[in-house]
């Protein structure tokens, strides 16, 4: 019997690659294409998936039954046009996931920040408890064979649900966790009010008689309490509020989580408490919950230890550990750096940051200025521009125009005036941060620092990563020669590729 054929356009994405693995595990003939090679594409090829580099009409296999495209693929993509010409059904990643989710009892993890860690924790708890779930997650887990997909045989699907472009509105989960709401994806949404309304629509999609777990500590979520209550009453949804600042209900559980959790940061304590709350509602025993939480050691690019620095050129007293982290929004950056400072309070910290999307950096510029206070030194790389979601060579700080009905920004009008070169935004950010450092740490005549509410002492804009080793050497000599020091390579772009050149060995 001939296998059905599915072709992915933009198969190298973290979501599309997981979905491709689902189809492969269900006996489909899977192929795909992407703009450039990557670590994920190499892994897909090893699994037997044929992947083309570059987009051409001829990539689409004869007799394809379905074409699935990532959010970054425009409508004029030659493979999308070819699918339309041949009458091959084409769906977005979110639409395709929405279809397959109907086959399962879906548990969706939503929120601006923390989705991947929370999805990982919930998945491991369900596996420990014998639920045998299928998992689609936005990172790679060692527990899944360094994959972003787990093919379970049970009734449950654990799904990381992204709010970008309303993607998660394609899902109708049995249960959901919403971790937080923040001013994110402002290249698509007009403002925070619109984002809140999209999350309310997502809540309306939860099945009648389902479960909804919400973070009481998040002011944007708790501010919607009355509206959420009304929706839940109409659909008989069980609402569970959790919070690490609510001692009456969760202090003992939080204490236990802090005691066993291997990953750093209060934000991760909160994520684990969210998972605990849903797991208990599903009838899972504390023993299984805590065993899974205690065994979790992190995920790909989530404060992932990569190895020791293979230089510096001078005799350094301590080994310098290097980590990769995916944080790219000011809220995430602050939480991650605060977690590092909490776990290693006497350790020096150098952050190398690659901004992700010129639009995000421009629209959240002021928030980025104060996001790095827990680092001792900061290196800023040029902006990583996202295909299909960013401009190619010029940006502006103009706020743009929006669709009055949907709240969606009209991409073509976002950056229309006051244009500057995209990579120059990083230099502007470096200048703004340095100005803040100078004002907060002005040296009085006796040579005493006037204020010390930030650890950040120096910021360097690096237009080319070729000089990164030299810059890190200089910073280590200047700031941290007598301290244990860690370096965190941070951003959602391709900064992780630079880490290989820095470390003595891969962790």
Place of tokens 């202090």: 251
Residue 59 domain boundaries: 5-95
At 243, give phi and psi (nearest 5°): -175, 140
Q: Residue 479: what pLDDT?
A: 66
Asked if residue 49 belongs to a domain, the reply is yes
Asked if residue 282 belongs to a domain, the reply is yes
- Tell me if 117 is assigned to a ligand binding site: yes
Q: Residue 417: what pLDDT?
A: 34
Place of tokens 């690096």: 462
The pLDDT confidence band at residue 412, using thresholds 50, 70 and 90, is very low
Is 108 in the same domain as 218?
Answer: yes
Q: Residue 46: what pLDDT?
A: 97
- Tell me if 113 is assigned to a ligand binding site: yes
- Average pLDDT of the residues of the chain: 87
When divided into structural domains, the chain yields a total of 3
Is 213 in the same domain as 238?
Answer: yes
Asked if residue 70 belongs to a domain, the reply is yes
Is 75 in the same domain as 203?
Answer: no
Is 430 in the same domain as 403?
Answer: yes
- Among 53, 73, 95, which residue terminates a domain? 95
Is 0.75 topped by the overall pTM? yes
Could you tell me the CATH number of the domain that includes residue 236?
A: 3.40.1190.10
Is 208 in the same domain as 83?
Answer: no
User: pLDDT per residue over 42-63, tens digit each?
Assistant: 999 999 999 999 999 999 999 9
Is 310 in the same domain as 288?
Answer: no
- Tell me if 111 is assigned to a ligand binding site: yes
Is 324 in the same domain as 411?
Answer: yes
Q: CB-based burial of residue 279 (10 Å sphere; 0-12 exposed, 13-18 middle, 19+ buried)?
A: buried
Is 351 in the same domain as 222?
Answer: no
Stretch 335-348: mean pLDDT: 90
- Is the model more confident about 7 or about 346? 7
Beta-sheet strand order (sheet of 211-215): 147-150, 134-141, 156-160, 105-110, 175-178, 211-215, 238-242
- Among 238, 270, 295, which residue terminates a domain? 295
User: pLDDT per residue over 342-390, tens digit each?
Assistant: 888 888 899 999 999 888 898 899 999 999 999 999 999 999 887 655 5
- Among 95, 123, 145, which residue terminates a domain? 95
Rounded Cα distance, 76 and 96, in Å = 20
Is 310 in the same domain as 286?
Answer: no
* Least trusted range by pLDDT, from 68-77, 380-389, 403-412, 435-444: 403-412
Q: Residue 438: what pLDDT?
A: 87
Q: Which has the closest alpha carbon to 477: 377, 384, 387, 341? A: 377
User: What share of the chain in percent tops pLDDT 70?
Assistant: 86
Asked if residue 507 belongs to a domain, the reply is no
Report whether pLDDT(74) > 50: yes
| Run of H or E including 336 | helix 330-343
Asked if residue 175 belongs to a domain, the reply is yes
Is 118 in the same domain as 242?
Answer: yes
Rounded Cα distance, 277 and 214, in Å = 9
Stretch 262-267: mean pLDDT: 90
Asked if residue 387 belongs to a domain, the reply is yes
Could you tell me the CATH number of the domain that includes residue 312?
A: 3.90.190.20
Rounded Cα distance, 10 and 33, in Å = 6
* Least trusted range by pLDDT, from 197-201, 444-448, 449-453, 470-474: 444-448
List all residues 6 or more positions away from 78 whose beta carbon is below 8 Å from its beta carbon: 55, 56, 57
Tokens matching residue 264: 């750093």
Asked if residue 269 belongs to a domain, the reply is yes
- Tell me if 348 is assigned to a ligand binding site: no
Q: Residue 398: what pLDDT?
A: 34
Is 309 in the same domain as 284?
Answer: no
Contact 299, 139 (CB under 8 A): yes
- Tell me if 20 is assigned to a ligand binding site: no
Is 137 in the same domain as 247?
Answer: yes
The radius of gyration of the chain's CA atoms, rounded to the nearest angstrom, is: 23
Contact 303, 339 (CB under 8 A): yes
3-state DSSP assignment of residue 192:
helix
149: which strand partners? 136
């Amino acid at each position: 019997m001939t296998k059905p054929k599915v072709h992915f356009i933009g198969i190298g994405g973290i979501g599309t690659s997981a979905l491709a693995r689902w189809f492969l595990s269900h006996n489909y003939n899977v192929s795909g294409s992407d703009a450039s090679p990557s670590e994920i594409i190499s892994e897909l090829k090893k699994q037997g998936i044929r992947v083309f580099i570059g987009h051409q009409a001829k990539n689409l296999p004869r007799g394809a039954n379905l074409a699935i495209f990532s959010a970054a693929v425009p409508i004029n993509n030659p493979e999308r046009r070819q699918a339309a010409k041949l009458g091959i059904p084409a769906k977005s990643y979110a639409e395709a996931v929405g279809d397959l989710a109907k086959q399962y009892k879906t548990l969706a993890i939503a929120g601006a920040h923390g989705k991947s860690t929370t999805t990982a924790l919930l998945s491991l708890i369900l596996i420990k408890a014998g639920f045998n779930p299928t998992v689609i997650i936005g990172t790679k887990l060692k527990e899944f064979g360094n994959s972003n997909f787990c093919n379970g045989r049970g009734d449950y699907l654990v799904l990381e649900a992204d709010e970008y472009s309303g993607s998660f509105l394609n899902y109708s989960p049995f249960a959901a966790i919403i971790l937080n709401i923040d001013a994110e994806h402002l290249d698509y949404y007009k403002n925070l009010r619109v984002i809140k309304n999209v999350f309310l629509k997502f809540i309306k999609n939860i099945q009648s008689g389902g479960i909804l777990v919400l973070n009481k500590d998040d002011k944007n979520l708790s501010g919607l309490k009355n509206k959420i209550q009304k929706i839940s009453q109409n659909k008989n949804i069980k609402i569970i509020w959790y919070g690490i600042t609510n001692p009456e209900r969760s202090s003992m559980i939080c204490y236990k989580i802090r005691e066993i959790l291997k990953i750093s940061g209060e934000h991760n304590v909160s994520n684990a408490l969210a998972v605990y709350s849903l797991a208990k509602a599903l009838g899972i025993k504390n023993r299984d919950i805590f065993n899974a939480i205690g065994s979790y050691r992190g995920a790909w690019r989530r404060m992932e230890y990569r190895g020791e620095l293979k230089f510096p050129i001078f005799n350094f007293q301590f080994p310098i550990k290097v980590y990769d982290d995916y944080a790219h929004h000011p809220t995430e950056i602050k939480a991650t750096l605060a977690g590092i400072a909490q776990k290693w309070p006497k350790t020096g910290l150098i952050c190398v940051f690659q901004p992700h999307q010129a639009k995000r950096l421009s629209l959240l510029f002021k928030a980025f200025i104060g996001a790095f206070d827990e680092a001792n030194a900061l290196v800023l790389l040029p902006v990583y521009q996202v295909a299909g979601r960013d401009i190619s060579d010029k940006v502006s700080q103009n706020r743009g125009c929006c669709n009055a009905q949907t709240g969606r920004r009209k991409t073509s009008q976002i950056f229309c005036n006051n244009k500057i070169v995209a990579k120059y935004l990083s230099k502007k950010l470096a200048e703004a941060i340095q100005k803040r450092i100078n004002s907060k740490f002005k040296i009085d005549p006796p040579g005493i620092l006037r204020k010390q509410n930030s650890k950040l002492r120096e910021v360097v804009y690096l237009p080319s990563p070729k000089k990164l080793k030299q810059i890190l050497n200089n910073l280590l000599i200047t700031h941290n020669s007598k301290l244990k020091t860690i370096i965190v390579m941070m951003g959602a772009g391709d900064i992780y590729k630079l880490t290989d050149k820095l470390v003595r060995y891969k962790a």
